[in-house]
Amino acid sequence: MPDSNASSICIFTTDANLNVRSWDSRMAEMTGKSASEVCGQPLSLIIPDLESRGLLTRFSRVLSTGAIESLAPGFHHYLIPCSPSTPSKYFDKMQQRVTIAPIREKQVITGVVVMIEDVTARMDQERDLAVQLTKPRESHRGLGREQAVPSLYGPASIIDALADESWQVRRDAVDTIALNHDPDIAVKLVRDLREEHHNISILNSVLQVLALSNVDAVPALIACLSDTDADLRIYAALALGEQHDPRAIPSLIEALNDPDTNVRYHAIDSLGHLRATEAVDILTEIAASGDFFLGFPALDALLRIGERATASPRLVPLLQNELLGPAVVEVLEKIGDREVVPALAELLNGFQPPTLLVVKAIAAIYRRDERIYGQGIAIADLTVHRLNEAAIGVLINAIPHAAEEELADLILLLGWLDAPEVEVAMTGLISHGSLRDQVIDTLIHYGRREKDKGDRICALLMEQLDAVEIETREAAVMALGKIGNSRVVPALIALLNEESESELVITATNALAQIGDRRAFEPLLALLGHPDPAVRQGAIAALDSLGHPELENQVTQLLSSPNPRLRESAVRIAGYFAFPQCVEFIFACTRDESEKVRRAAIEHLPYLEDDERALDTLRRVLVQETPRVRAAAARALGEIENVSVYQDLIQALSDEDPWVRYYAVRSLGKLDYQEHRQDACATPQNSLFDILAPIALTDPSNPVRGAIAEVLGNIRGLDAVPLLTTLAEVEDGDGDIARAALTALGYIEHPDADSALLKALYSHNPERRIDSIQALGKRAVGAGLPASSEDNLNTSSEAIRTAVDALQWLVLSDTEPKVIQCGIDTLQRVNRDEATQALIELTIEPTRREACCTALAQLGESHLDQIAVGLNHIHPGVRCAIVNVLTRLKNPKASELLIAMLDDQDSEVRLASTVALGRLGNRACDDKLAHLAHTDPDPAVRRAAQKVLQR
């Protein structure tokens, strides 16, 4: 007795001549033939009736075309005749669902794999269900949803169940029929729709089946639209919309003239579901008629049709319709362009306008125009020129009632306006945390206007310096610094006191540095002894930017201060500028009693490298000091251009402190290995690898191991590939080791390095995939540099192709948005013909199209010829995408190419080109547009051409 838990699927394979290559144990159990008996035998010998049953052609198609073929148990019953694994009361042979798929080696089909599923038990259930549905009692008929399986037997019985008095039985019947493909059922369904549509139970069940199933009932439903019974026409119109079949569109358009209003209503709704661009004109007429009952569905249909339903001026008058106006605004938000903006803006001047709806619509049109054409400023101008003072008040009054997303749109529009009350309102919005950055950017824009307006904004922002929330005060200080108005300096200086929060003081020092007013010199000096290191660093940075003539004298005095914080700060300033009169003090500070002062002095010795004492001091400190100071010395030695430090850094690799080892590795990576190899006292490059490689595998510090991986990549040695490949799979330390190893592999042009990088593209961790993408991108960019020999040139070309192919595949197949965007950005940075072609190909996928168009546009006019190659692509979606890119380039040659695309065979491409030329204002194509406006077979193209000509 077979194990009931065993898999019901068995598999065998053949070669290209249909000789059996493999035969699994389930096949042997099912057929009674062992693998040794059948392997090597022709399939026709094992299945003698293979050709007579017409099944051989299925296998031939798989081998010749690569298509996947299926054998349905309801029609073919089985591929290989054998007894059921368990007894069946309906079948003497096992019922099999069979899938035949090609086996490929690279691009060549070398055989087939056949999967056979035993479905006998399931088909027994289906037969039982058909019988059960004919029984008189509901308890016998209703088998429960879990038993409602598709039956290929007794269609009349199951369809009759649609009229059953029990809703459970009707539900099960719907589920059963919906999964069926029997043409007899389709005929019966539509006949029931005609004959039994007054029976609400049957009607609802039939409509559910038509919506869920693969039954082709479209022709019969279309015929129902001509029936004398209005109810049947209503149900047919409704059902046709759920079928998602464009064959219904002409008949549904004709139904818009039906004498029954309800038929017209459902015909409109169905045309919206079908996104019927052919119906845009008549739907617009219905909406513009002002008919309340039909106007709403017509507007909704236009909304569903989307951008192809270009915003007709005929909708604009409806904005004043009290009932339909808000719905029209929502439609224009989705499909409107700059032509409707003045009318939308005018609404804000009226009495009790739908303010937030209008603002959302204008903001959406602005962002769409900015994204596609980079001309959002035109939307802003059209809006501002239409608004009166009352409208400004309306916008401000809407602020308290707006949700966060609505508030973002309000801030956008208010930012276009020039009025004192707007500035006051905007300043008050700084307290909104999630929108603070947007508000600050707007206020900075205000503050950089002419002086009197800038002064007004600064005064408003200074009022916010007394706000309760520290975040609000910081935001105001940040904005004041970016505006750069010197009148605010006293207010900012007032914040530099011990009572202020450290975060606020730091922000104030940064703002004072941006303004550059020397009045802040003394107050900033006073902060050099502040207990918070971040405040001291902010003050140091600000003093560095001021360039005050007294800085050197003041710092010299502070170097002798009894306060170690002041000495540390003074060292950092003096060391940065290498003030001559401070040199002796800096060397003295390398022996200061304070570790922090000593470390600061050591960090700045590379600025004094002309002094012989600098190198001697660093060598002393590297072996005699505390761990932090030793780490500072190891780091500083990397900045000394002296090959003799090489051995010192090698010795530091054995230091007990991980940060000393880390900075020793990093400093070694900065040295010029060619010079070291020529120098008698230097260690050869390959010896450095021998030293670092064991440490990369054994060091307990992840940062050290990651730094070694990076250095090995800079060496660019093939010997490093196996080690880097190992490190690329280490996920310790938040993946820093793997990231460094993948980056290093990106510098090594060799197939083994390629394999490791490509393997990382399959990582379950999206961060590793991004690391691999960036490494491949660097590889491709580096390979694009001039080659020194023909061999190197060939290698570089191969590296580019490998990287670009891998990136293109990942962008197309990955599901993580940040990985996809990283891949597209990397292809754009590669800046090679192969990468440009990859971006063009990726526009085939609609979800990748916008990002790829943006990347192609950023390549600029220098790549116009390569981008224009996409206009010849076989896929119309790609050609539309390239039209989009050429529009953004705003180049005369691009305009010529767009004019040529008006002759494209695809209506979508002609439409995109027409709209693009209208945006660019090109008049050289007026004759062609006039021809399109009268003769193009696509109504959307005709409308677009007419609109451009009217402009």
Q: What is the pLDDT of residue 271?
A: 93
Task: Give dist(CA 305, CA 19) in Å, integer.
Answer: 53
Tokens of 784: 């694009």
> SS3 sequence, 651-679?
HHCCCCCHHHHHHHHHHHHHCCHHHHHHC
One-letter amino acid of 337: D
Longest dimension (CA), the chain: 110
> SS3 sequence, 829-881?
HHCCHHHHHHHHHHCCCHHHHHHHHHHHHHHCHHHHHHHHHHHHCCCHHHHHH
Reduce the DSSP state of residue 8 to 3 states and report it: coil
State residue 267 phi and psi, 5-degree precision: -65, -40
- 42 forms beta bridges with 19
Task: Give dist(CA 883, CA 873) in Å, integer.
Answer: 12
Using an 8 Å Cβ cutoff, are 215 and 189 in contact? yes
Tokens of 37: 């008996």
> SS3 sequence, 441-491?
HHHHHHHCCCHHHHHHHHHHHHHHHHCCCHHHHHHHHHHHHHHCCHHHHHH
Task: Give dist(CA 863, CA 860) in Å, integer.
Answer: 6
Reduce the DSSP state of residue 149 to 3 states and report it: coil
Task: Give dist(CA 548, CA 541) in Å, integer.
Answer: 13
Burial per residue of 574-583, b for 16 or more beta-carbon CB atoms within 10 angstroms, e otherwise: bbbeebeebb
Using an 8 Å Cβ cutoff, are 289 and 318 in contact? no
The crossing angle, in degrees rounded to 10, of helices 833-842 and 846-859 is 150
Residue 438, classified by CB atoms within 10 Å of its CB into exposed (0-12), middle (13-18) or buried (19+), is: middle
CA dihedral 269, 272, 277, 282 (to 10 degrees): 30
Task: Give dist(CA 749, CA 717) in Å, integer.
Answer: 9
Tell me which residue of 633, 579, 561 sits closest to 601, measured CA to CA.
Answer: 633
Tokens of 103: 């086996």
For the chain, counts of helices (H) and of strands (E): 55, 5
Read off the DSSP letter of residue 184: H
Question: What contacts 174, CB < 8 A, 6 or more positions away?
Answer: 162, 205, 208, 209, 212
Question: Which H or E element spans position 62?
Answer: helix 56-65
Range 372-380, long-range pairs (CB < 8 A, 24+ positions): 372/884, 372/887, 372/888, 373/887, 373/888, 373/919, 374/888, 375/919, 378/338, 379/338, 379/341, 380/416
Tell me which residue of 373, 363, 446 sits closest to 398, measured CA to CA.
Answer: 363
Tell me which residue of 938, 873, 905 sits closest to 308, measured CA to CA.
Answer: 938
Question: From residue 388, how far is each of 401, 406, 407 by CA, in Å?
Answer: 21, 21, 21
Q: What is the pLDDT of residue 598?
A: 96
CB atoms within 10 A of CB 874: 7
Torsion sign (Cα): 533, 538, 540, 541: positive
Using an 8 Å Cβ cutoff, are 807 and 823 in contact? yes
Task: Give dist(CA 416, CA 400) in Å, integer.
Answer: 19
Using an 8 Å Cβ cutoff, are 429 and 443 in contact? no
Read off the DSSP letter of residue 537: H
Task: Give dist(CA 74, CA 151) in Å, integer.
Answer: 9
Question: Which H or E element spans position 69?
Answer: strand 69-71
Question: From residue 731, how far is each of 696, 714, 726, 739 by CA, in Å?
Answer: 14, 22, 11, 9
Tokens of 227: 């029936």
Question: What contacts 363, CB < 8 A, 6 or more positions away?
Answer: 408, 409, 412, 413
Residue 667, classified by CB atoms within 10 Å of its CB into exposed (0-12), middle (13-18) or buried (19+), is: buried
CA dihedral 496, 500, 506, 509 (to 10 degrees): -20
Tokens of 274: 């079908």
One-letter amino acid of 770: I
Task: Give dist(CA 148, CA 916) in Å, integer.
Answer: 53
**For each successive 10 residues of the chain (951 residues), what is the average pLDDT?**
50 88 85 88 91 88 82 83 87 88 75 85 76 54 41 44 55 54 50 52 53 64 84 84 85 94 93 87 86 88 73 77 86 85 92 92 90 84 92 92 90 89 87 82 78 80 87 90 90 84 92 92 94 93 91 93 95 91 93 95 89 91 94 93 86 95 92 47 60 90 91 77 88 82 85 84 89 84 46 56 85 91 92 88 91 92 91 92 89 88 92 87 82 86 83 69
Tokens of 597: 């002062």
> SS3 sequence, 736-798?
HHHHHHHHHHCCCCCHHHHHHHHHHCCCCCHHHHHHHHHHHHHHHHHHCCCCCCHHHHHHHHH
| Residue where the block lists tokens 């943006």 | 854
Tokens of 892: 């005369």
| Residue where the block lists tokens 């192709």 | 801
Q: What is the pLDDT of residue 147?
A: 42
Tokens of 891: 């180049």
Angle (CA) 394-400-405 rounded to 5° is 95
Tokens of 66: 């690569």
State residue 246 phi and psi, 5-degree precision: -65, -15
Task: Give dist(CA 344, CA 347) in Å, integer.
Answer: 5
Q: What is the CA radius of gyration of the chain?
A: 38
Task: Give dist(CA 150, CA 269) in Å, integer.
Answer: 31
First to last CA, the chain: 82
